[in-house]
Chain A
Amino acid sequence: MEEIEQPSRNNLEGLKGWLNPSRYGWERISYWFQRLTGVFLLLYFIGHVYETSTIVNGQNAWESFLELTQTVWGHLFLILVIGACTFHSANGIRLIFTHSGIGLGTPGRPDYPYSPSSLNYRQKSGIWIALILSAAAMYYGFNILFGE
């Protein structure tokens, strides 16, 4: 009997597979957003730690750095950060529940049309709640930053 070759454990598609939107369902969109927002927020955090460090160089250094960030584009960027932060938090809580087995439903026989019980309305609602909360937070942030 011919031995079946074990496939490589490497993720051969790499980033291309990660970013390929052609096979997306709601869960995959949320997976994609969770990672994109996570990387984006870490980059923002590194920039924010650097930005706030200018305060130790005195008032002039702080105010000249503020002039760079307190612009319309700077505020729009902050609104994106607010949205990313809210989605990442809300969807992250959903993922913690899911990894703990909460909201997955009970296993059942796979009958036609083979809808997996784990990808149920609870999961989809969780993703929608994360999206709605992030839109609301962005709206609130917009009012704070552009309201006066």
Chain B
Amino acid sequence: MESHRILKESQIMKIHYVTGIAAIFVVAVHILMRLIVPFELSLEYDYIISNYKNIFYVLILESILVLVSVHGFNGIRIILLELRQSKAWENMITVVTISAMIALIAYGTRTIILANGL
């Protein structure tokens, strides 16, 4: 019954914890980038575009996108699996959450790539 699973639930929980801890660090860097200049200035178009052209910051943004999406959608999956248990429900929730996660990562990556070229 369990043999076809790619990852065990215990392994998924480890991924959940690792992505959570890693997200704290990269989100902290993201917030610091808003605080090293006055807040109003940090939201100005030219400043934001210059951020997107900084390769180090682009990697931080992409990491945030992947880590928070994986952590967040797995969290939603865990909540929904606690509400109801059946094989069909579990498969449906897993497919929906993974699809939503991929869609969000793709959309955010598109923004990073396009803004980097502006």
Contact = CB atoms under 8 A, between A and B. Distances in A.
Q: Chain A at the B interface: mostly helix, strand, loop or mixed?
A: helix
A49 B17 contact: no
A45 B68 CA distance: 8
Contacts of B73: 42
B49 interface: yes
Nearest to A82: B31
Interface residues of B, number: 36
A53 interface: yes
Interface string B78-118: 01001111100000000000000000100110110011001
A46 B75 contact: no
A20 interface: no
B39 A144 contact: yes
A11 interface: yes
B111 A52 contact: yes
B27 interface: yes
Contacts of B39: 144-145, 148
Most chain A CB inside 10 Å of its own CB: which residue of B75, B79, B118: B75
Interface string B1-14: 00000000000010
Interface stretch (A21-29, A62-70, A107-115, A126-134): A62-70
Interface string A1-42: 000000001110011001000000000000000010011011
Nearest to A96: B17
A66 B104 CA distance: 21
Given A49-B107, A49-B108, A89 B24 contact: yes
A53 B107 contact: yes
Contacts of A35: 75, 79
B74 to A, nearest CB: 10
Interface of B: 13, 17, 20-21, 24, 27, 35, 38-40, 43, 45, 48-49, 52, 65, 68-69, 72-73, 75-76, 79, 82-86, 104, 107-108, 110-111, 114-115, 118
10 contacts: A38-B75, A39-B75, A49-B104, A52-B111, A55-B45, A55-B118, A56-B114, A56-B115, A92-B20, A148-B39
- The 3 A-B residue pairs whose C-beta atoms are closest, nearest first, are A42-B72, A56-B114, A53-B111
Given A39-B76, A55-B118, 15 more contacts: A9-B85, A10-B84, A10-B86, A38-B76, A38-B79, A45-B69, A45-B72, A49-B65, A49-B107, A49-B111, A53-B111, A55-B52, A55-B115, A96-B20, A148-B39
